[in-house]
Chains A and B, each alone.
Chain A
């Protein structure tokens, strides 16, 4: 096994781990935002517009971490600086 093969193997495994672990936190966070948003909607249906907008903003914020993980995984898979360009 050459050095490049080991590096590629580790990169692929790490990309999967990155995606999996990164998705966990974002999933929990987004679920809590969704629950809180539903609760707020049930309490104050008149403020549906503002609640929904702020909920989306918060979702986007939390999702950012997962997206960062996704980008890192993509970088590991497709633009790995340690591997020679294919």
Chain B
């Protein structure tokens, strides 16, 4: 049993730059998503009929409804961002069921990177939608005294995003690894199914939370006006 919970397995050092296993799995996940979803996009563009195209449109409509409800109006950038987040996390969880494949989301650095992207996307989207003053005003909203609390909230929720994803994925992965080490055949299957379910659920939760955070930054002025 290899207990690489916080350590990182470096495959090869390219000079000063290490090439880690997480990097490899994330690239593999990206390539898998690309290969799996590019035909969907082509199918939708070529012919609106067919199962692939129907699945793609269904998914996109679901995503658009989600974003529209969160933000208050359709937002292309947030659609792409949230959709990619969901697809990446879910795809990683799916690939994680392959034997010997540790999904990149079991790495704390990877989940921290995703959370950091969400953290950065919040002011980006807020400033783009409301302007710098309109966005910054949000931090002083009910009272200027709450500015530190806002900051702490931003940081802590980012930390929570990263740790939640990492903890869920890693716990599932660890449990499956433990059972595999103990029994081996067929017994880990239900736990793997649970792991897969948790992975998809976490992808959904991560996506929703990211949408809610970014959407709140976008619609700050609207709430003020309401």
CB distance from A16 to the nearest CB of B (A): 15
Among B69, B168, B204, the residue within 8 A (CB) of A50 is B69
Inter-subunit contact A71/B167 (CB<8 Å): yes
Return chain A residues, CB-CB under 8 Å to B17. Answer: none
Task: Tell me, yes or no, whether B115 is within 8 Å of chain A by CB.
Answer: no
A64 x B160 contact (CB < 8 A): yes
Do B209 and A60 have beta carbons less than 8 Å apart? yes
User: How many Å from the CB of B132 to the closest CB on chain A?
Assistant: 28
Known: A78-B3, A78-B6, A79-B6. A53 touches B166 (CB 8 A): no
Q: Chain A interface secondary structure, helix, strand, loop or mixed?
A: helix
Q: Chain A residues with Cβ under 8 A from B66's Cβ?
A: 53
Determine how close the nearest CB of chain B comes to the CB of A71; give it in whole angstroms. Answer: 5
Indicate the member of B65, B160, B167 with the most A CB atoms within 10 Å.
B167
Interface positions of B (Cβ within 8 A of A): 3, 5-7, 65-66, 69, 160, 163-164, 166-168, 170-171, 201, 204-205, 208-209, 212
Since A67-B168, A74-B170, A77-B5 are in contact, a sample of 18 more A-B pairs with Cβ atoms closer than 8 Å, ordered by chain A residue number, is: A53-B66, A56-B201, A56-B205, A57-B208, A57-B209, A57-B212, A60-B164, A61-B160, A64-B163, A64-B164, A68-B160, A68-B167, A71-B167, A74-B6, A75-B6, A78-B3, A78-B5, A79-B7
Instruction: Tell me, in angstroms, the Cα distance from A71 to B208 when the chains sit together.
Output: 22
Inter-chain CA distance A61–B164, complex, in Å, is 9
Chain B, interface SS category: helix
Q: Which residues of B contact A70 (CB under 8 A)?
A: 167, 171
CB neighbours (8 Å) of B208 from chain A are 53, 56-57
Q: Contact check, A57 vs B205: say whether CB atoms are below 8 A apart.
A: yes
Within residues 50 to 82 of chain A, which ones have a CB less than 8 A from any CB in chain B?
50, 53, 56-57, 59-61, 63-64, 67-68, 70-71, 74-75, 77-79
Contact B163 A68 (CB under 8 A): yes
A82 → chain B, closest Cβ, in Å?
Answer: 15
CA distance A50 to B168 in the complex (A): 24
Instruction: Please measure, in the bound complex, the distance between the C-alpha atom of A64 and the C-alpha atom of B168, giving whole angstroms.
Output: 10
A56 to B65, CA, bound (A): 17
